[in-house]
Amino acid sequence: MKVSDFNYHLPPTLIASHPATPRDSCKLLIYDSKEQKVTHQTFNHLPDYLRPGDLLILNDTKVRPARLHGFKAETGGKIEFLLLKNLGYGEWETMIRGHHLKPGSRVNFPSLLSAVLITKIDDKSWRVKFNVSEKKFEAILNRFGETPIPPYIHPSLKTTDAKLKSFYQTIYARQSGSAAAPTAGLHFTSRLLTKIKKQGIGVGFLTLHVGLGTFSPVTVDDVEKHQLHAEAIEIKSALIKKIRAVKKTGGRVIAVGTTSVRTLEALAPDIISTKPARTIKREINIFIYPGYKFKVIDAMITNFHLPQSSLLMLVSAFIGREKTLELYNLAIKKKYRFYSFGDAMFLQ
């Protein structure tokens, strides 16, 4: 299976540069795999396609202002950090943009914050150590850090970081730790979630802190040789109990976003086990591509993803590669908006 098998042509004009207002007014493409039927709606009509007894599962991770700009102490050269993972004791896994990087190099940031490059983890990230306590570091980060929006977002939006911190965040975000938003969740409003709950549809939350594993491009030709970076997850025992109950009563487990899908499927042995449910907190790096047999989820809500990305491959595993590309081409024809601030799909 080649990465090129997951390519498609997207006109640049269909890349969303801003979110829909209100959030739930974006387009929603609904695909019923049993009926082989496609319906075009707006996201605020999602409850019409849910059933009492279903369970929506959302990722409550919160995007931190993870981008920092600094200067190399030795030369004054510009350096950009994108914080990926807190490793503890002041150390972080970090993507670094700059030249002539080497272990021992020091980078200076505002408010007397500095970091030393320790070791290179791979060709994209470094292990670095900061010089302040975690509490002080978070305060500096909240003051000087920037929201790490994708590069295709319109430049004018980058000038108002206060707005970015608001609309590049789900309304239910509460567990700080992500370098990017779980974008399928950006379409939900408080009004919509209230309506869903009133219809007898369950809503549950898990956490996956989005890091390099989610948005790193696939750089190998053979899909099966690609490996995802590990990302931290947490799922409470109460949610596992809810999932088991829904499965017993014939309801559907509906994952909101590929991060929720990967978390649930990575933990499938624990979720479908007959052993007492327990809270699970660890790292996962599951890579889902065609041929994978889903064990927990019955449906998913997701955005339209980049060509040749691991996220597109995950969707292809759920409904088939040819059908995925067919739906994407249909969405292009219908002028759907793509990527982080774009429109959504409900696949069932």
> What string of pLDDT tens digits covers the 348 residues of the chain?
899 999 999 999 999 988 899 999 999 999 999 999 999 999 999 999 999 999 999 999 999 988 999 999 999 999 999 998 899 999 999 999 888 899 999 999 999 999 999 999 887 789 999 999 999 999 999 899 988 877 777 655 544 566 766 788 999 999 889 988 999 999 999 999 999 999 999 999 999 999 865 666 787 889 888 888 889 999 999 999 999 999 999 999 999 999 999 999 999 999 999 999 999 999 999 999 999 999 999 999 999 999 999 999 999 999 999 999 999 999 999 999 999 999 999 999
Query: What pLDDT score does 37 carry?
Result: 98
Return phi, psi of residue 63, to 5°: -75, 125
Query: What pLDDT score does 245 carry?
Result: 97
First CA to last CA distance, the chain: 25
Query: What pLDDT score does 213 carry?
Result: 59
Query: What pLDDT score does 122 carry?
Result: 81
Distance CA 300, CA 290 (A): 16
Residue 283 corresponds to which tokens in the numbers above?
């790292």
Q: Which helix (H) or strand (E) holds 138?
A: helix 134-144
Query: What pLDDT score does 162 carry?
Result: 67
* Domain with residues 3-63+167-347, CATH architecture: 3-Layer(aba) Sandwich (3.40)
Going from N- to C-terminal start, the domains of the chain cover 3-63+167-347, 67-144
Distance CA 229, CA 130 (A): 22
pTM above 0.95, yes or no: no
Region of 322 (left: φ > 0; alpha: ψ -120 to 50; beta: rest) is alpha
Q: Which helix (H) or strand (E) holds 101?
A: none
CATH 2.30.30.700 fits 67-144, yes or no: no
Distances (CA, A) of 172 to 58, 60, 239, 286: 9, 6, 16, 25
Beta strand 37-42 with 27-32 is: antiparallel
Query: What pLDDT score does 42 carry?
Result: 98
